């Protein structure tokens, strides 16, 4: 192998940060002193070797990082290394990029951006955020104030509030050290992405300093503020920029050898004279951000007047929902699930209702989104589990027998991002003597796909304690097969949208295909939303195991359901 040219080695040696070059076979071409120090490797026998031969500990991470870079992915990684002699663990933030060159330096360039000691006291910097080095809240507010100073002519500025979706999940799963590293990566991307954005056509009369006065600040744990120094951006400019910010966050981050994908929500404004001060601006930004979050992850929303009332209404609803939980206004209804082979009621799905003091029973569609986006679904979801199990135990006591084999309980992705309460609740259920294998947790396919890594960990924890798993609304997401391949799924639930198209030939073919897929993976199938005898017959002929739908029964309250299921049991045993 040819030695790297002299200029390259001395160039690398002059760089203050840790940098290495690898060839396309992922072997070292060269590395500088700081890089060797970070990994504690000897520079003498470096060239032509793989990293894992020199440092097996960080080998898999570096190999994965390089492999992805070679595939053209822009990857960054956060990794916790061996503790230092004082037993403080070391955190690395690394990145790698493919570079094409005609000389011996063709391959990948990798750099370590940061080595931080966990528990070490970072140097205090006045107005900057200590973790990321970005401006802090104080400086950001001062900046926004300065752009709002009345001038003639008025020059608007675009200001963005960016919040990482479900960042708590990253901290919970990987620890705060990794969480910090990931924030650092995001901060660097935002900074680089903002500075490198193309400037609009030069405007006479503005100094270079004014033009480049962009600001990226960290305002809270996982909240960033960005103000563009661009002269007079339009709403369309701001929208395009917001999309770009979303993309910057969406690029994958490696943690160990795992690749996670984050998303963000963004609220933004183009300032106008109605913003009298920074508080006005921030209030509108907050409203826009809340609306973006309400639309689900990876959304950006500009403030507009109508939003303030929408968000106001949503906040009022959230208030009522908090009260509803305290005042025990939530109730569960139960819908039977029947086995097609013998027509027996074998399970039930617990479905949440809000017994509103004046409006009566409110269906979940009216309030579930607010529960989810506010995180209130976490305690409510735990209440649902406890209540459903309490009901199972009440039936058992009343009738002296188990009227159901299992109870199906819906869970939302949000509960998985914060799994401690969920796991504690289930352990409480177990301690009460209720066997966990009589619980099926239903999670929608799209929720699984939204955050596959986090979900996978929680799903396997659930399976470890014996919980059975059902994929809800199966076939409506975009990765039906992936879900089944990666998770040991007990049951799939075919969405009502498929069931009610069973009378069309393509609808029927689709259901047959879903049944076949389930069979391959050994999963039971419940067809949801069965409303006609014809649908039930087609499903039976196709080998579908279980059905649920208005043809059999609508969801009903606990006492009604108990009587219904018991009658069913009695009728069935009379028929036998
Ligand atoms: P899902 O889990 O897919 O539940 C089935 C929904 O279809 C229920 O609506 C049920 O009443 C309805 N349904 C059942 N059979 C038929 C039928 O034959 N025809 C028609 N038109 N509809 C039928 P519901 O109770 O309004 O619940 C809606 C969704 O709300 C549920 O969809 C579930 O995703 C969510 N949900 C309900 N309870 C909870 C809960 O406790 N936690 C969470 N996270 N989500 C819940
Ligand atoms: Mg369900
Ligand atoms: Mg469903």
Mean pLDDT over residues 125-153, rounded? 80
- pLDDT beyond 90 at 204: no
Which residue, by CA, sits nearest to atom 8 of ligand 1? 351
The answer to whether residue 482 scores a pLDDT higher than 50 is yes
Read off the pLDDT of each residue in 431-436 and give the average, rounded to a whole number: 95
Sheet holding 107-117, edge to edge: 28-31, 18-22, 107-117, 89-99, 75-83, 253-255, 258-260
| Cβ neighbours, 10 Å, residue 45 | 11
CB 216 within 8 A of CB 129: no
| Nearest protein Cα to ligand 1, atom 21 | 529
Q: From CA 90, how far away is CA 78, in angstroms rounded? A: 11
Kindly state if the Cβ of 472 falls inside 6 Å of ligand 1: yes
What residues have CB less than 8 Å from 549, skipping those under 6 apart? Answer: 496, 499, 527, 528, 529, 530, 531, 535
Query: What pLDDT score was predicted for residue 243?
Result: 96
Q: Among 3.40.50.1980, 3.50.50.100, 3.40.630.30, 3.30.70.270, name the CATH number for the domain at 137-303.
A: 3.30.70.270
Lowest-confidence segment of 306-310, 390-394, 468-472 by average pLDDT = 306-310
Per-residue confidence (pLDDT) for residue 148, from 0 to 100: 87
For residue 531, which atom of ligand 1 is closest to its CA?
Answer: 18
Average pLDDT over residues 279-308: 92
Asked whether residue 277 carries a pLDDT value surpassing 50, the answer given is: yes
Burial class from Cβ neighbours inside 10 Å (0-12, 13-18, 19+) for residue 261 reads middle
Band (300; pLDDT cuts 50, 70, 90): very high
Q: Which CATH superfamily is domain 315-575 in?
A: EAL domain (3.20.20.450)
pLDDT digit string, tens, across residues 224-260: 999 987 677 899 999 999 999 999 999 889 888 888 8
Q: Is the pLDDT assigned to residue 565 strictly greater than 80?
A: yes
Asked whether 494 lines ligand 1 (CB < 6 A), one says no
Decide if pLDDT at 487 tops 80. no
Q: Is 519 helix (H, G, I), strand (E, B) or coil?
A: helix
Q: Is 25 touching ligand 1 by the criterion CB < 6 Å? A: no
**Nearest-10 crossing angle of helices 419-431, 452-464:** 10
Fold of 6-115: Beta-Lactamase (3.30.450)
Q: Is 361 in the pocket of ligand 1 (CB under 6 A)?
A: no
Q: What's residue 151's pLDDT?
A: 77
pLDDT band at 106 (very low <50, low <70, confident <90, very high): confident
Q: Using the atom order of ligand 1, give the atom closest to the CA of residue 415.
A: 44
Which pLDDT score, from 0 to 100, does residue 103 have?
Answer: 65
Torsion of CA 128, 131, 133, 137, to 10 degrees: -40
Name 168's Cβ contacts closer than 8 Å, sequence gap at least 6. Answer: 417, 418
What are residue 491's DSSP bridge partners? 470, 524
pLDDT value at 208 more than 50: no
d(CA 137, CA 127): 8
Q: What is the pLDDT of residues 368-396, one digit of tens each?
A: 999 998 899 999 999 999 999 999 999 99
What is the average pLDDT value for the chain, to the nearest integer?
A: 87
Q: What is the pLDDT of residue 105?
A: 64
Instruction: Give 359: exposed, middle or buried? Use CB within 10 Å, 0-12, 13-18, 19+.
Output: exposed
Q: Is the pLDDT of residue 159 over 90?
A: yes
More confident residue, 89 or 433: 433
Distance, first Cα to last Cα, the chain: 81
Q: Where are the domains of the chain?
A: 6-115, 137-303, 315-575
Instruction: Give the pLDDT confidence score for residue 271 in this predicted structure.
Output: 92
DSSP state of 311: H
Domains 6-115 and 315-575 share a fold: no
* Closest ligand 1 atom to Cα of 332: 41
Q: What is the Cα–Cα distance from 506 to 518, expressed in whole angstroms? A: 18
Contact indicator for 345, 568 with CB cutoff of 8 Å: yes
For residues 23 and 99, the answer to whether their CB atoms sit within 8 Å is no
Does residue 412's CB lie within 6 angstroms of at least one atom of ligand 1? yes
Q: 1 pLDDT exceeds 70?
A: no
Mean pLDDT confidence for 118-125: 44
Distance CA 565, CA 545 (A): 19
User: Ligand 1 pocket test: which of 338, 350, 351, 548 has the largest number of ligand atoms within 8 Å of its C-beta?
Assistant: 351
Token pair for residue 328?
Answer: 């025990």
């Amino acid at each position: 192998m040819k030695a790297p040219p002299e200029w390259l080695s001395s160039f690398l040696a002059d760089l203050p940060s840790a940098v290495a070059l690898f060839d396309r076979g992922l072997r070292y071409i060269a590395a500088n002193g700081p890089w060797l120090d970070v990994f504690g490797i000897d520079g003498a026998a470096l060239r032509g070797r793989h990293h894992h031969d020199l440092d097996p500990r960080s080998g898999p991470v570096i190999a994965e990082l390089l492999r992805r870079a070679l595939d053209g992915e822009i990857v960054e990684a956060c990794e916790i290394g061996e503790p230092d002699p004082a037993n403080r663990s070391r955190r690395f933030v690394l990145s790698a990029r493919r570079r094409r060159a005609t000389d011996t330096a063709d391959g990948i360039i990798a750099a370590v951006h940061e080595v931080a000691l966990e528990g070490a006291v970072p140097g205090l910097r006045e107005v900057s955020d200590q973790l990321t080095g970005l401006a802090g809240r104080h400086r950001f507010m001062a900046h926004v104030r300065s752009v709002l100073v009345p001038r003639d002519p008025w020059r608007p500025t675009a200001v963005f509030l960016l919040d990482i979706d479900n960042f708590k999940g990253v901290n919970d799963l990987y620890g705060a050290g990794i969480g910090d590293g990931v924030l650092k990566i995001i901060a660097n991307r935002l900074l680089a992405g903002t500075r490198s954005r193309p400037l609009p056509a030069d405007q006479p009369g503005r100094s270079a300093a004014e033009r480049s006065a962009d600001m990226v600040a960290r305002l809270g744990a996982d909240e960033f503020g960005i103000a563009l120094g661009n002269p007079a951006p339009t709403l369309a400019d701001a929208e395009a920029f917001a999309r770009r910010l979303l993309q910057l966050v969406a690029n994958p981050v490696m943690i160990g050898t795992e690749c996670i994908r984050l998303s963000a929500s963004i609220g933004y404004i183009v300032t106008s004279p109605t913003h009298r001060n920074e508080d006005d601006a921030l209030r509108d930004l907050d409203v826009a951000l809340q609306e973006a979050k309400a639309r689900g992850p990876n959304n950006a929303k500009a403030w507009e007047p109508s939003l303030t009332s929408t968000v106001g209404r949503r906040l009022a609803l959230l208030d009522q929902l908090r009260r509803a939980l305290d005042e025990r206004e939530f109730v569960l209804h139960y819908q039977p699930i029947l086995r097609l082979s013998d027509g027996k009621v074998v399970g039930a799905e617990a479905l949440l209702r809000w017994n509103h003091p004046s409006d009566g029973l409110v269906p979940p569609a009216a309030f579930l989104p607010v529960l989810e986006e506010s995180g209130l679904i976490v305690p409510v979801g735990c209440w649902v589990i406890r209540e459903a199990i309490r009901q199972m135990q009440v039936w058992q006591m009343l009738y002296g027998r188990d009227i159901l084999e299992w109870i199906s309980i819906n869970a939302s992705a949000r509960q998985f991002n914060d799994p401690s309460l969920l796991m504690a609740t289930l352990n409480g259920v177990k301690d009460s003597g209720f066997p966990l294998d009589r619980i099926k947790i239903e999670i929608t396919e799209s929720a699984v796909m939204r955050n596959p890594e986090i979900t996978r960990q929680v799903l396997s924890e659930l399976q470890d304690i014996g919980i059975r798993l059902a994929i809800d609304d199966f076939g409506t997401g975009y990765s039906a097969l992936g879900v089944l391949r990666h998770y040991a799924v007990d049951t799939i639930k075919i969405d009502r949208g498929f069931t009610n198209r069973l009378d069309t030939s393509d609808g029927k073919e689709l259901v047959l295909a879903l049944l076949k897929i389930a069979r391959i993976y050994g999963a039971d199938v419940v067809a949801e939303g069965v409303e006609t005898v014809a649908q039930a017959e087609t499903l039976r002929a196709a080998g579908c195991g279980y059905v649920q739908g208005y043809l059999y029964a609508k969801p009903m309250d606990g006492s009604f359901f108990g009587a219904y299921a018991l009658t069913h049991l009695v009728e069935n045993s009379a028929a036998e």
